[in-house]
Chains A and B, each alone.
Chain A
Amino acid sequence: MFAQLVVSGIGQGSIYALVALGMTILFRVTTVVNFAHGELFMAGAFLIYALLNALGVPYAAAALAALLFLFLFGNAVERLLMRPLANAPHLSLAMMTVALSYLLRGGVRFLWGGNVRSLPPMFSFAPIEVGPVVIDAQDAVIIASTAALLVLFFALMRYSRFGKEAQAVTDSTRGAALVGINVAAFQRTMWGVAAMVAAVASILVAPETMLYPDMGARVLLRAFAAMTLGGFGSLGGAVAGGILMGIIEQLAGGYVSTAMIDIASYIVIIAVLLLRPSGLFGRAEVVRV
């Protein structure tokens, strides 16, 4: 049972890891904590649902459309909502993302109502059996795709020019501007990229999960748990924290009670922030004035 729970936990956790990763890259480059990130994920899932049901396009086409749309949407959000507040206090920037989250949730509720919807499974091959552990087909796809994506992402961050620019902007926006990086344009692109990573999570998870307007808020809190657990602002920490969070949830559900699945992430957030705010892999922060 333990191994089975861990495997399903990794499947769930991959989604949390992707959402947390998107929030972390955005946070590193813009210092904005995006409270609307769960809703970007939710909007991506509903977009796929709409394309599949209304237009009957194949899943791959719907997935591509979702990626493209969320990239553009992320850019638009930065340009229209965040850029005008560049010199405003940090509280206003955070409030803006809160307002955006409610706008997206309200928009989806307005268009589709509050009912729970679902999509047919994307893959119908038989579950994979490894000894006593049964890996669901969709879980297998999610875990494999997430792993491939993470390798690609970390290679990009490490070896490409884009990754080096991201590191420069993270270290110091002023320094990056001095060496010729267009920081505003870079941050805008990053909003697009972060939204696109959220769309990847929606593409992977849409066929096996229930779609409803509040699903984003649920995932947002789990992504926060992942980020706090792994150390806020650490890319690797967000991924490790996400997968760990998925496993913790499944273990709590399996050994304690299924009601615990819902609150495991809240308890993790509260416990980590009170006991060890730098998380498992983060470094304690020193502020100089």
Chain B
Amino acid sequence: MSRGGAAAVAALLILLVLPPFFVDDYVQFILDLILVYVMVSFGFNIVLGYAGQLAFANAAFFGLGAYTLAICLGRLDWPFPAALFAAAVVGGAAGLLVSLPALRLRAYYLAIITLAFGELLRWTYVHASGLTRGSSGLGVPAISIFGIPVASDRARYWLFLALAGLTLWGSANLLRSRFGRALVAVRGNEAAAAAMGLAPAVVKIGAFAWSGVVVAIGGAMYALLLGRISPESFGLSQLLLHFSIVMIGGLGSLVGSVLGAVILTAAPELLRDIPGLEEIIFSLLLIGVLLFMPKGVAGLLGRLALFRERLYLT
């Protein structure tokens, strides 16, 4: 990285750390929520954008992360770092599990099995009420990290920022590694990738596992932020939000993921009060993106040739 680049990154970091000192409570909550969805979007984009796999399990990973954290903290009295680690492990394991059908011949088997998997989990949250308290919802206790309480939205912001930053750094490095290049090769042409000595199956499993880890950490953050989780938070409307963020931001672009999360999370609260309106607006946006800008907002910026190299790996 050049000296100018390093200075720019340092300036950006300082800017990102400052908001809690200036904004009001409501804006702070929205900022925290944006960070949650930045995380989710990083994870989903790896499967949908980089590996090119249509999978509907994202809300399931998200819910697993949230419930694992809530159960480990509230029921087992684990310290926060251990609970977060458990959420990541459970998410990774789920990612591994659903990637198995992705290895079969037909692509839409994956879509169908992941759809069933998500609904099955939601049913489990409702019916395993001994563990999850069912439809009435499960409370998430306040946390402290190594003795420092993290109880307000402001304190959580820094925690979330650190987690999102680490994930972005990790994901970006992963995607630039041999593994990332292999992922893009497999998306392009599986047979050609295999002919070049890559193992498409291993690459896909890796992508799903990493995606599961990242999205589950996002889910754990979501549980912390809301303080109470219930099964209906992890259904089809949650999934629509995830799809919209990734597609509108830009498939296969981590910067696009950030943009998508900012645009859609900051969408006015008004949408939530009128039944169906959120679904209508988000789906129209999705249709518009599919028809007119298949690479999303990031693609639009890329077309201006400002930083084409940075935005896309491919």
Residue A109 lies at the interface, judged by CB distance under 8 Å to chain B: yes
Residue A175 lies at the interface, judged by CB distance under 8 Å to chain B: no
Contact A267 B120 (CB under 8 A): yes
* A273-B113 in contact given A107-B276, A263-B123 (Cβ < 8 Å): yes
1/0 per residue, CB under 8 A from A, across B90-134: the answer is: 000000000011001111110111011101100100010000000
Residue A108 lies at the interface, judged by CB distance under 8 Å to chain B: yes
Contact B279 A273 (CB under 8 A): no
Contact B54 A213 (CB under 8 A): no
Q: Which residues of A contact B279 (CB under 8 A)?
A: 102-103, 105-106, 109
> Which of these, A94, A109, A221, contacts B276 with CB under 8 Å?
A109
The answer for the CA separation of A217 and B122 in the assembled complex, in Å, is 14
Contact A109 B123 (CB under 8 A): no
Contact A259 B287 (CB under 8 A): no
The answer for the CA separation of A106 and B275 in the assembled complex, in Å, is 8
- How many of chain B's residues touch chain A, expressed as a range? 35 or more
Residue A88 lies at the interface, judged by CB distance under 8 Å to chain B: yes
Contact A81 B287 (CB under 8 A): yes
Contact A95 B243 (CB under 8 A): yes
Residues of A participating in the B interface, judged by any CB pair closer than 8 Å = 33, 35, 81, 84-85, 88-92, 94-96, 98-100, 102-103, 105-111, 113-114, 213-214, 217, 221, 224-225, 228, 232, 259, 262-263, 265-267, 269-270, 273-274, 277, 285, 287, 289
Q: Which residues of A contact B290 (CB under 8 A)?
A: 85, 88, 92, 95-96, 99
> Which of these, A98, A103, A259, A262, contacts B284 with CB under 8 Å?
A103
The answer for the CA separation of A35 and B113 in the assembled complex, in Å, is 13
Residue B6 lies at the interface, judged by CB distance under 8 Å to chain A: no
Q: Which residues of A contact B113 (CB under 8 A)?
A: 269-270, 273-274
Contact B112 A106 (CB under 8 A): no
Contact A96 B116 (CB under 8 A): no
Most B CB within 10 A of own CB, among A95, A102, A265, A267: A102
What are 18 of the A-B contact pairs (CB < 8 Å)? A33-B111, A95-B54, A103-B280, A105-B279, A109-B275, A110-B275, A217-B236, A221-B119, A225-B116, A228-B112, A259-B123, A263-B120, A269-B116, A270-B117, A273-B101, A273-B104, A274-B100, A274-B101
Q: Which residues of A contact B107 (CB under 8 A)?
A: 90
Contact B116 A94 (CB under 8 A): no
Q: Which residues of B contact A274 (CB under 8 A)?
A: 100-101, 113
Identify whether the interface residues of B are mostly helix, strand, loop, or mixed: helix
The answer for the CA separation of A96 and B100 in the assembled complex, in Å, is 25
Contact A266 B282 (CB under 8 A): no
Residues of B participating in the A interface, judged by any CB pair closer than 8 Å = 48, 52, 54, 100-101, 104-109, 111-113, 115-117, 119-120, 123, 127, 191, 236, 240, 243, 247, 274-280, 282-284, 286-287, 290-291, 294
The answer for the CA separation of A107 and B279 in the assembled complex, in Å, is 8
Q: Which residues of A contact B111 (CB under 8 A)?
A: 33, 35, 94
> Which of these, B112, B276, B287, contacts A213 with CB under 8 Å?
B276
Contact A106 B54 (CB under 8 A): no
With both beta carbons as reference points, the residue of chain A lying nearest to B189 in the complex is identified as A289
With both beta carbons as reference points, the residue of chain B lying nearest to A265 in the complex is identified as B116
Contact A103 B283 (CB under 8 A): yes
Q: Which residues of A contact B286 (CB under 8 A)?
A: 95, 98-99, 102
Q: Which residues of A contact B115 (CB under 8 A)?
A: 221, 224
With both beta carbons as reference points, the residue of chain B lying nearest to A89 in the complex is identified as B52
- Cβ distance B176 to chain A, nearest Cβ, rounded Å: 23
Q: Which residues of B contact A103 (CB under 8 A)?
A: 279-280, 283-284, 287
The answer for the CA separation of A210 and B127 in the assembled complex, in Å, is 22
Contact A99 B283 (CB under 8 A): yes
